[in-house]
Structures are given as structure tokens and as C-alpha cells.
A and B are shown apart, each in its own frame.
Chain A
Amino acid sequence: MALASEVANAHGPVTLSENQRPFDPDFYYFAATWPNPTGSPVAGHYAVNPWTGDVWDADGCKRLESPSLSKLQDAVRKKSGLGRSVYSKLRAKRPLCIEKGQQ
């Protein structure tokens, strides 16, 4: 959740709550919401790779990057002790999301 928070709050404070996705057990999903008095409180969804710390915009299907996120991901990698080959394979995983134009 800390990883997702790094990017989720870019446009104002949001609350992240875990979003169950039974069709994809490989990622953790979060919904970002805020107390919107006039419309939908949902500001987006995020998917986090628990092995690599990669954070995805689960709605737009894009991997998110930022300097602070990279630092957190480095810490995750060091803590996991994964070798480069295994890490690369894990990093290649994509969450269950539909890319723009995907039919």
C-alpha cells in the first residue's frame, strides 16, 4: 500500500482500500477514493506487484514510475534477495488490465 500511496496522492489525498480481484491473484489491487460530495469518490485503481514493488494504473494499464517509487522498489528488491534473472521475469508480469485499443 505504501508503494501505491507514492503515486496515488499526486492529485490530492486519497484513501486506498484493497480491491479484491479473484481472477488475478498475482497482484494486490487498490481503489483510491476521496470524500467527493458531488460525484463518484473513485479516483482510480492501482495494482502492485508484491515481488518487485511495481505499481500500475490498473484502469489505464500503465506502469507508473517516479524517483521516490524507484527508491521504494530498490528496497523491496534488496529485501526479497531475488536474483537478476528471477527479478526480471517477475517484473515482466502485468496486472489484469485492458490496454487502450485492446480488442
Chain B
Amino acid sequence: MRGRPHKSVLSSTVENKMNSQTSTSNGYPRAVTEYAYDPNGKRVMKETNPDPLDMNNAYNPAWEFYFYSITGQKLVTMDCNDPTAITLPSCWVVAENTYFGSKLLVSNGVYVVTDRLGSVRANTQGEKFAYYPFGEERTTTVDSRDKFATYFRDTVGQDYADQRYYNAGVGRFWSVDPGGIATASASDPTSWNRYAYVGGDPVNRFDPSGSYWCYADGDDDPKTCKMAGFGVMAGYSSVYVPNPEGGGYAAAGAGAVMAGEGTGTPSSGPCDTTNALNAQAISWISQHGVDAAAAAKTIGSTEAFILGLSAVESGWGGGDFVTGTYNNGVPINNFFSQHAPAPNENGTVTINGNYMATYASYAASATGFDMSKSGSLITNVQNATAAATILQNAGLYGINPDGSKVAGFVSSIATTAAFIANRIPCVQLNTRVQYIEQPAFASCSGSVPT
């Protein structure tokens, strides 16, 4: 069946802020979520109703209000719920935040530890959080709380970023920079993309307000970046991301310099990320290496081949089958150009005449590849050239419209896989916990998780 009777509709205010999300089924509105903002662009209200037309006898509007300090930090979340609309609604505080300067100490009533980007990394409930460079969680946890880079994660793909919304899955904001075209600089091409997140360097920069990116190490104008309170973590290597399972991967953004365990900058070579090719490959490995390795292990392939094939097919993640969205913002995540119906898909979409599978993530896409005919054909084929040849000879990859083979397909896959293989060692396993003590906050009151 092509398409589905269900879809989501988003609408925005004249200030380009999302003000409602409506899920429809067979043309009728189902769940509705509406948002309201104050004159400063702060989200102050959310109203939800699972059954706005009471079609399933589940009409139940609920309101959530947010209160901010004079410095613009969210302090209190209050829920109100009264379906009668005759008496005043009942309200109660559901969450409180506490800060030390700009640093979040308590989120939704739970003590947390944040890193140099303001991302929550652990809390006193024993949870640990780890993220890919652009904010996707390495292991999904419950949403509706502060998570990546000071943003409040409403749901997967929707981070409330103060003046905008951000999608960690695709690594960019939902709307253009509210500062307008004036914030684009002719000398900085990365600023020309009005949707871009921190100019492509999410390891060393963050953007608390959704309108100005700042360096995480404090070298910025405090008026715009609100840097007061953010200190450099003692002993923290800026490029390592902990893995809840005990390993970790280094995250390198564009222009970031790879560091060993705090020992400094390596000399030029495959790990030198001042070279854009290296930076691109290392970023790819950082983002998808764990999942690619798992997928490779399942079919007896190699991490490098899985990463290489997905890199070429998806244009290093920049192609429509990955960055494209459907159902108003749901990312496609089809890294292996799999046609629908396909194993492990979570939906379908038609792009340029192709009926394509959609996936929840790179991991899901890679698992789907494993489960497909392609995966079965290259089972236990560890040589990249051999594997690419098998796939092309089977007509599954590298075919032109006239049926001829794409010249150089096998070579490009093998070359890319080899290039990536030489850079996998640059992304080192790290079992250190990143949320270690910060001398700047040693005098904080209240307990800090150890």
C-alpha cells in the first residue's frame, strides 16, 4: 500500500514559530498539540488534546505553562487540566529547574550534570546520556526534558531551542535564522545555509538561543552567548563522547582538532581533521561507526564497507533519501537507498518516482540492509571490492537508467571503504566518564552526582 491514511500537519505563526501539530487520520484531526509564545519568542504554553473532536470519547485538553527568570532561563513548568471549562482549571507544578549562572544544575526536579556544551550527561536517577555530534542520542531515553546543548527535547526530531526548533536527526533547525539574511557572512560560507546548526561544528560550538552560536570554551561575547557560568571541564577531552555500554567515540566537527587524552594536537596524517576529507570521514565514523560495526558483524562484513557503501549511496548523509523528510518533519534516514517495501522500515515515501523505505535511524537502516537481499548476497564477504562487485552484478547498486553499470562504482566503494578503514583508529574507544568534577563549580551548594 502506498502512503498511509495518517499524517501530521504543522502550522506556524507569522514569526515562523510552530504553533500547532495535528495528527490526522482519514482526514479527521486526532491528537492536537498547540504552542504559544511570549513577545520575546519564549514558549510559554503547550496545549494538548488526544481527541479534539471527541470522536473516540477521549476529549481531554491539558495545558502546560512555562515560567522563566529575568535572564530567560526556564524555572517552572506547571500543568493545568480542567475539561469542564466552567470553573477555574486545576494547576500544579510538575517541574522545576535550578541554575548556577547559566549552568543547569536541576532539570525537572532531578540533579543533572552537563558538559561544556550544556548537554545533560547524567542525573541522580542513575541515567547516563550520550549523543552523536549533532545531538541524536546514542541510546534513546525518555524525552520531554532537557537534553542536548541546553535544548528541551519534546520528542525525537523536535528540540525546543528557545527561538527555533532543532532536529538532531538531520542536524539542522526547522526554520531559518530569525536574525534574517544579515546574519549570513560573505566570508563564511557555512553561514549561508540559514538552517545550519553552529556552522557545522557541533563539537566545539553550541547555540543556546537558537540564534547565535558560541564557542563552548568561553571565547565569546557574553552578551550574545550567555557564557557566564560555563567552565571548561577539568581533565575533559573536548572530542570524546562516552558510550553507555562502556566504550566511546570521539566526535569531530568541521575544523575540530582531534586530541588524545588531553595531550594535545596530533601531527598531520589520517587523524588530522584540519584536512576536510579526514574531518568528513572521521565525523561519519563518529556518527555511525558503532551501528555500522554491529550491522557488519551480523552479516560477516566489515565496518568500513558498511560505512563506505552508506557514505557513497547517501552522499555522506547529505542526499534526499537521508536528509529528506515526510509527514511534516519525520526524517527518511534511508542510508542504503533501499526500495520499499523493505525489511525494518518504519514507513515509505516517494521521491523522484522512487518508492523508498524510511527508517528510524542509521542503525535501523543498516539493520534493514542486513536483512535485505543485498545483505544476504554479501554475507561473509569481507573484501570491499568483491562485495561491491557482487551488489553491482546483481543489479542492486551502481546501475544506470539504460541498464549499464555505473563506471567506477566498485572502485569508488572500495576506495571509500579503505579510506574510512584507515581513519577508524582515529575514533578511539574511551571508557572515561565525561561528567567529572569542574573546579569552577566546586563551591556549588546542593549535591552533585559522583
Contact A26 B189 (CB under 8 A): yes
Q: Nearest CB to that of B309 among chain A residues?
A: A40
Whether B400 and A11, one on each chain, are in contact in the complex, defined by CB atoms closer than 8 angstroms, is: yes
Shortest distance between the CB of A50 and any CB in chain B (Å): 11
B232: Cβ under 8 A from any A Cβ: no
Q: Is the beta-carbon distance between A60 and B412 smaller than 8 angstroms? A: yes
Task: Give the distance in Å from the alpha carbon of A62 to the alpha carbon of B415 in the complex.
Answer: 14
Partner of A44, one of B279, B318, B395, B406: B406
Chain A residues in 8 Å Cβ range of B439: none
Flag if B352 contacts A17 (CB, 8 Å): yes
A34: B residues at CB distance < 8 A: 352-353, 400-401
* A21 and B399 form a contact (CB under 8 A): no
Whether the Cβ atoms of A40 and B418 lie closer than 8 Å is no
Report if B169 contacts A (CB, 8 A): no
> Given the complex of chains A and B, what is the CA–CA distance between A99 and B412 in angstroms?
8
Q: Are B401 and A23 in contact, CB atoms less than 8 angstroms apart?
A: no
For the side of the interface on B, what is the size category? 35 or more
Find out whether the CB atom of B402 lies under 8 angstroms from the CB atom of A12.
yes
Residue in A closest to B413 when the chains form the complex, CB atoms: A59
Q: Which residues of A contact B319 (CB under 8 A)?
A: 17, 19, 31, 42
Interface size class of A (residues with CB under 8 A): 35 or more
Q: Which residues of A contact B192 (CB under 8 A)?
A: 25
Chain A residues near B337 (CB-CB < 8 A): 40-42
> A43 touching B399 by the CB < 8 A rule?
yes
Produce 1/0 per residue, A17-49, CB < 8 A to B: 101111111100101011111111111110000
Verify if B389 is at the interface (C-beta below 8 Å from A).
Answer: no
B406 with A20: CB separation less than 8 A: no
- Select from chain B the residue with minimum beta-carbon distance to A9: B401
Find out whether the CB atom of A35 lies under 8 angstroms from the CB atom of B419. no
Q: Does B315 contact A (CB under 8 A)?
A: yes
Contacts of B416 on A, CB cut-off 8 Å?
Answer: 98
Closest to A45 in B: B315
Interface check B323, CB cutoff 8 A = yes
Say whether A103 faces chain B, with CB atoms less than 8 Å apart.
yes
A90 contacts the other chain (CB 8 A): no
**Contact (Cβ within 8 A) B395 A38:** yes
For B254, B337, B395, the residue with the greatest tally of chain A CB atoms inside 10 Å of its CB is B337
Q: A38-B395, A40-B313 are in contact. Are A20 and B318 (CB under 8 A)?
A: yes
User: Is residue B25 within 8 Å, beta carbon to beta carbon, of the partner chain?
Assistant: no
Q: Give residues of chain B (404-443) contacting chain A, Cβ–Cβ below 8 Å.
A: 404, 406-409, 411-412, 415-416, 418-419, 422
**Residue picked from A11, A35, A41, A45, most chain B C-beta under 10 Å:** A41
Q: Min CB distance, B337 to chain A, in Å?
A: 4
A100 pairs with B190, CB closer than 8 A: no
Instruction: Check if B289 is an interface residue, CB within 8 A of chain A.
Output: no
Q: In chain A, what residue has the closest Cβ to B170? A: A20
- B400 and A12: CB pair below 8 A? yes
Which A residues touch B409, using CB under 8 A?
A: 59
B37 interface residue per 8 A CB criterion:
no
Chain B hits for A60, CB < 8 A:
407-408, 411-412
CB distance from B275 to the nearest CB of A (A): 10
B283: A residues at CB distance < 8 A:
23
Check if A15 sits within 8 Å of B352, measured CB to CB.
yes
Are B415 and A29 neighbours in the complex by a CB distance under 8 Å? Answer: no
User: A-facing mask of B312-325, CB < 8 A → 1, else 0?
Assistant: 11011011100100
In the assembled complex, the CB of A61 is this many whole angstroms from the nearest CB of chain B, namely 8
Identify A23's interface contact among B254, B402, B404, CB under 8 A.
Answer: B254
* Residues of B with C-beta under 8 A to A21: 280, 315-316, 318
> 9 more A-B contacts (CB under 8 A) besides A19-B320, A31-B319, A41-B337?
A13-B401, A23-B200, A33-B354, A34-B353, A39-B394, A40-B397, A59-B409, A60-B412, A99-B415
A residues contacting B by CB (< 8 A) are 11-15, 17, 19-26, 29, 31, 33-45, 57-60, 62, 96, 98-103
CB<8 Å pairs between A and B, sample of 24:
A11-B401, A11-B402, A17-B319, A21-B280, A21-B315, A23-B279, A29-B315, A33-B320, A34-B352, A34-B353, A34-B400, A35-B354, A40-B396, A40-B399, A41-B339, A42-B319, A42-B337, A43-B401, A60-B407, A60-B408, A60-B411, A96-B277, A98-B277, A103-B419
